[in-house]
Amino acid sequence: MTNKIQTLAASPAGKAAGGTVMAILVAISFSHLLNDMMQSLIFALYPMLKVEHHLSFAQIGLITLTYQITASLLQPVVGLYTDKRPQPYSLAVGMACTLGGLLLLSKADSMPSLLLASAMVGMGSSIFHPESSRVARMASGGRHGLAQSVFQVGGNLGTSLGPLLAAWIILPRGQGSVAWFGAAALVGMLVLTAVGNWYRHHQRAQAKKPAVARPDNGLSRVRVLWSLFILAMLIFSKYFYLASLTSYYTFYLISKFHLSVQSAQMHLFLFLFAVAAGTLIGGPVGDRIGRKRVIWGSILGVAPFTLLMPYVGLMGTEILSVVIGLVLASAFSAILIYAQELVPGKVGAISGLFFGFAFGMGGLGAAALGTLADHTSIFFVYKVCAFLPLLGLLTALLPDLHARRRAPTANLVADSR
């Protein structure tokens, strides 16, 4: 893979990057897979860490909060900085931070060391996501939804692999085996260094081209800010609900259906794999029919299934969790591209802001829901969270950017007649 990327970087076509550069999209998606797979090990280790370190649900939520807040606070800063001063090799640096966090996690024997390891992994994520999202857009050739979905599906596949690898490797061998996954970080650093070479050549080629005027969406500043606020509320609903599943789904299954830890991890893998599959849908469909319609269907459309899930048996829970993962996952790519179209020319800042906000909401959700579970029950948590997708009704307040882009073309056709 690295040889293919190096060839692209050295070629005129690779430098110009006029079309969709699939090798770069695959490379950045593969790196996203490695990055999120390593990060998801933290969540997959929760049942083992809870027993070995005598943690409460609130402490588990605090670990998630530390990881997610570290990422969420730094990602917008990284995005703003790299909009002005692109850093092609920062991607490999971010992967190195994740490597350090994993090695520390393998040896952590106290709450402070667990929190520090989580913070280092979060820092790696904060560096990786804004710049890798920018690279995906650079390599898209104008097919922004497709590129973002290819990039996102790698991350979601990696997240789904975490519980599976934890069940197969870490749970039988213990916490120290987390260090074995440092090899994945080293592979990621090699791939991202090659991507950085392509990124640098692309930047040089683009600098030689005449400046192109940024597209104007015709919206006032107030309308743009209001739309960004609505998108933030939709992110809140999506990631608070996802926090209930990624952090506490195994405990829910163990408590309600008396499953073993390994069996519960397999169920979590099925849900996360469905999330990965659903991610691939949102971007390309949004390219065709518009982001707003995808957002409608993915957030509000999942509400009937979330409302039903707390009241069904094991098979119903399995089926509904897969449907929820498929439908809900298609939202983020559509929301992110929609936000980038709202604020043209600020890819890094918008990517960092929305990735960061998503991570922050996931962290706050995990902490809040963990505390709620300690004071009530894990079953009550799922009954409350079931109503979150109803916030998808806010989508009605968003302007239809897809229709606005088509309007000038339609007017030109009418004038020609």
* Complete DSSP assignment for 120-141: HHHHHHHHHHHHHHHHHHHTTT
Q: In b/e form, how buried is each residue of 43-52, taking b as 16+ CB within 10 angstroms? A: bbbbbebeee
Distance CA 4, CA 277 (A): 26
Query: In which element (H, E) is residue 68 found?
Result: helix 57-84
Distance CA 19, CA 237 (A): 35
pTM above 0.75, yes or no: no
* pLDDT value of position 405: 59
State pLDDT tens for residues 34-53: 998 888 788 778 878 888 88
* pLDDT value of position 141: 82
Domain that residue 100 falls in? 2-206+218-401
Residue 372 in domain: yes
CATH number at residue 288: 1.20.1250.20
Nearest to 24 by CA among 146, 151, 115, 114: 151
In 139-260, which residue ranges form alpha helices assigned H by DSSP?
144-165, 171-173, 182-207, 221-257
Number of domains within the chain: 1
**Angle at CA of residue 415, ends 411 and 417, nearest 5°:** 120
Residue 212 in domain: no
318: amino acid identity, one letter? E
Residue 416 in domain: no
Residue 101 in domain: yes
Reading phi first (left if > 0) and then psi (alpha if -120 to 50, else beta), residue 218 is in left
Residue 411 in domain: no
* pLDDT value of position 414: 40
Residue 91 in domain: yes
Residue 414 in domain: no
Pick out the chain residues at pLDDT < 70.
1-20, 207-217, 359, 402-417
Residue 129 in domain: yes
